[in-house]
Amino acid sequence: MNKSYEAIFTPFRFPSGVTSNNRVTMAPMTLMASQTNGEVTDDELAYYELRSRGIGILFTSSALVSQSGKLRENGFGIDNDNLLPGLKQMASVIQANGTKAIVQLFHGGRISDPALLPGGQALSASAVAAEREGAAIPKAMTEAEIEAVLDDFAQATRRAIEAGFDGVELHGANGFLLQQFFSPHSNRREDEWGGTLEKRMKFPLELIRRVKATVAQHATSPFAVGYRISPEENENPGITMADTLRFVDVLADQGLDFIHVSVDRFWAGPRREESGKSRVVMIREQAGDRVPVIGVGGLWSPEDVTQALDTGVSLVGLGHAMLLNPDWIEKVRDGRESEITTALSRSSQQELKIPDVMWGMITNVPGWFNVVD
């Protein structure tokens, strides 16, 4: 191994006591390969088994906590105890070679698919449609519905513990329900759950409190709780970088194991400000030493990862790079980094064990992947 890459292979210990063998994680990517009831399939197990042979942490695709937030017909679920056998298999497969397994928990909120929902109407903080083609107006959640969803996340956390996962990530990014409560675009409430910036933080903060209480009650070994954020929104009004930095300042004092930043490019600066500083770095600086930060976005080579770690982020997430190079860590460790590929061959689906629906998307969405014949 090239000595300049030694930082990548340094172990890391989270506040909860969960440890990672190195500083590389596999970023969560949606597979759309579960059964219609959310049950784990052999395709998912094969995909994760191939990619858990060396990295420190593998984040699963987002797992649905409630049928009221269903987004995809073949999405992964953690909303029912009947799913525990498959969840246990998934955790075990990921952990077989020393990789930690963290399951991402989500509720779709206003971007859920009405055709898949009980009652046929999505829920959100307020009755404001997302700014996307064909978006329906959601129903503003009642106190009882808010309470029910908070409990759904807590019960999902219990299932993750019972299944043997090493932690959960609360998905507060990518336009899902947690982000909807924080966003001034989707949250126009005038009660305790919205209005001021501080009140828009209440739902995610209460959720963190309940999830951590669930861990304290049920976990008998170290179990990590992290939070994923998207730093900005395009909408106006929408989440600004200033909003996010204030939120991070509060999140950093919640006893979390990590804040996971969801951006396309690690080094990209804020959209609304004339600043050349990376948003990931800004969040890392705001968090300071109070909570670890995981950075992602367009990183491929060990040089990329090392430069990102040099900013002070605790770990780095690889998405596209891990999908195309399941043995990324092995290649770097064995001095074969020249073999890391950035192109996806149309003949490699079986070799890479990519499920059919996901394969169709990544080979047909222009510009998402560099697809070659």
Beta bridge partners of 124: 140
Structure confidence by residue, pLDDT tens digits, 195-243: 999 999 999 999 999 999 999 999 999 999 999 999 999 999 999 999 9
Q: Rounded to an integer, what distance in angstroms lies between the CA atom of residue 359 and that of residue 352?
A: 10
Q: Is it the case that residue 266 has pLDDT exceeding 80?
A: yes
Which residues, at least 6 apart from 229, have a Cβ–Cβ distance to it below 8 Å? Answer: 172, 173, 179, 244, 247, 248, 251, 259, 260, 261, 262, 283
Note whether residue 266 is domain-resident: yes
Domain span at residue 53?
Answer: 3-342
What was the pLDDT predicted at 259?
98
Structure confidence by residue, pLDDT tens digits, 316-325: 999 999 999 9
Mean pLDDT over 247-273 rounds to: 96
CATH assignment of the domain containing 123: 3.20.20.70
Structure confidence by residue, pLDDT tens digits, 124-163: 999 999 999 989 999 999 999 999 999 999 999 999 999 9
Place of tokens 């942490």: 57
Note whether residue 359 is domain-resident: no
Q: Which of 69, 83, 108 is nearest to 159 (CA)?
A: 83
156 neighbors 91 (Cβ within 8 angstroms)? no
Given pLDDT bands bounded at 50, 70 and 90, which one contains residue 99?
very high
Note whether residue 355 is domain-resident: no
Mean pLDDT over 261-284 rounds to: 92
- The rounded Cα 155 to chain-centroid distance in angstroms is 18
Number of structural domains the chain divides into:
1
Amino acid residing at 281: V
255 neighbors 226 (Cβ within 8 angstroms)? no
Note whether residue 78 is domain-resident: yes
3-class SS shares of the chain: helix, strand, coil, % to 5: 40, 15, 45
Structure confidence by residue, pLDDT tens digits, 10-43: 999 999 999 999 999 999 999 999 999 999 999 9
Q: Rounded to an integer, what distance in angstroms lies between the CA atom of residue 231 and that of residue 7?
A: 27
Cis peptide before 85 (omega within 30 of 0): no
What was the pLDDT predicted at 273?
77
What was the pLDDT predicted at 1?
83
Note whether residue 364 is domain-resident: no
What was the pLDDT predicted at 10?
98
Given pLDDT bands bounded at 50, 70 and 90, which one contains residue 174?
very high
Q: Rounded to an integer, what distance in angstroms lies between the CA atom of residue 83 and that of residue 76?
A: 10
Q: Which of 182, 167, 172 is nearest to 57 (CA)?
A: 167
Q: Rounded to an integer, what distance in angstroms lies between the CA atom of residue 97 and that of residue 55?
A: 9
Structure confidence by residue, pLDDT tens digits, 342-365: 999 999 999 999 999 999 999 999
Tokens of 309: 């770690």
Amino acid residing at 229: I
Mean pLDDT over 287-305 rounds to: 98
Note whether residue 369 is domain-resident: no
Q: Rounded to an integer, what distance in angstroms lies between the CA atom of residue 172 and that of residue 180?
A: 8
Q: Rounded to an integer, what distance in angstroms lies between the CA atom of residue 17 and that of residue 151?
A: 25
Given pLDDT bands bounded at 50, 70 and 90, which one contains residue 71?
very high
Q: Rounded to an integer, what distance in angstroms lies between the CA atom of residue 334 and that of residue 337?
A: 8
Q: Is it the case that residue 272 has pLDDT exceeding 90?
A: no
Tokens of 145: 């519905």
Note whether residue 352 is domain-resident: no
Note whether residue 351 is domain-resident: no
What was the pLDDT predicted at 49?
98
CB-hemisphere CA count at 13 Å for 298?
Answer: 9
What was the pLDDT predicted at 122?
98
Tokens of 340: 């890391």
118 neighbors 67 (Cβ within 8 angstroms)? yes
What was the pLDDT predicted at 341?
97
For all residues of the chain together, what is the average pLDDT? 97
Residue ranges of the alpha helices (H) in the chain?
42-50, 84-95, 143-163, 177-182, 197-200, 202-218, 241-251, 279-287, 302-309, 320-324, 328-333, 349-352, 356-364
Beta bridge partners of 315: 294
Structure confidence by residue, pLDDT tens digits, 276-285: 899 999 999 9
Number of H helices, E strands in the chain: 13, 14
